[in-house]
Structure 1
């Protein structure tokens, strides 16, 4: 069954990423935890389907309250997928979108782009570096290398790179027609993001700082916990 082939491939790639990226995730988390402990924030940016990762990290049970998603309709799919595809290739857009957020040296910017070469994510990574933030790229090294054709990749700009291992084209099953289907970048990207965030939380506790973790609203004490966290971060997170 093709579904089983897809799930098997997704699991294999996730298992490989868990081993291959562990050191990078731990190193990046150690830096991020130090910044969060000093009052910094973790911003997340992506375009197209990578935009999902910004929402994945925002205001969810088990997530960190110090995460700020970079949200912009222009690079989301719900107001026009074709337009979004063109916008993420438009030079200058990232600075306009990210310029609304006070990203600085005390912060972390996580940029998601599986192909890793479109103008908006590459310029977003550059923007973060210019502001002095620590920049993390979540990308496919294989895909971005195949697609680069002389262009700069976010992997070339970032301080840390998490390789999601997706193949060029981001599809892992072959149909009878010869077409490939079944993207894996979202599955693995979300796993790497949450692995990074839980490592940040653990590092904060090791340093003697409380980890700002949201709890499910259906769990005892969650309302009080989450209200306290939103009070702390709402002045700096325009999406709370």
Structure 2
């Protein structure tokens, strides 16, 4: 597909300039900029490896003002899902930091304002339950109750909260009430991070297929605490039990 749109420039001292387009309400990134950040030399091969719905072509003005006299130029663009795919292909140590900047700064800024205005911290903090904005009071109280029921895992969580993948726990969210809430919570966290369902499944890997997410959202499936903690981790959240009333990052 070929689209004609202007772009906004997102700048980071570590990663440089990234051009971002808003096309019919969807966020697209200039593929060359992303490949340059991730030190992907062969842009063409990297882009060709993406699914068809993850890439496109847009007609935009060059980044350099001295080149704008030549008019619009066609350039490859990728959507959020394509961005995550390229990040996974990169073995550079800063790839994770780049993902955090995009998910914690760029996408929330676009989602809230339609443009990039504020330099938010790299890791957006959730100080208490009230910051889970999409949840109503009943759900907040249910989350508090659920956290209190996890006291048996308290020591493990406190010791290994920074390496959630190492936590082994067999507890499932098996109660129907909790399952319904869990689906709402996952949806809320995705909205908070502006992460699409398909992008979340890619971040989670083979143990979290799209069907799994759909069943969770509909309250038809459960999830182990270890997998839930992994889900929080890929969205740059962490879970820590402090006392019977607080749930903080």
Q: Is TM > 0.5 for Structure 1 vs Structure 2?
A: no
TM-score (norm 1): 0.28
Larger radius of gyration: 2
> Greater share of strand residues, 1 or 2?
2
TM-score (norm 2): 0.27
Give the number of the structure with larger relative contact order, counting CA–CA contacts within 8 Å between residues 6 or more apart: 1
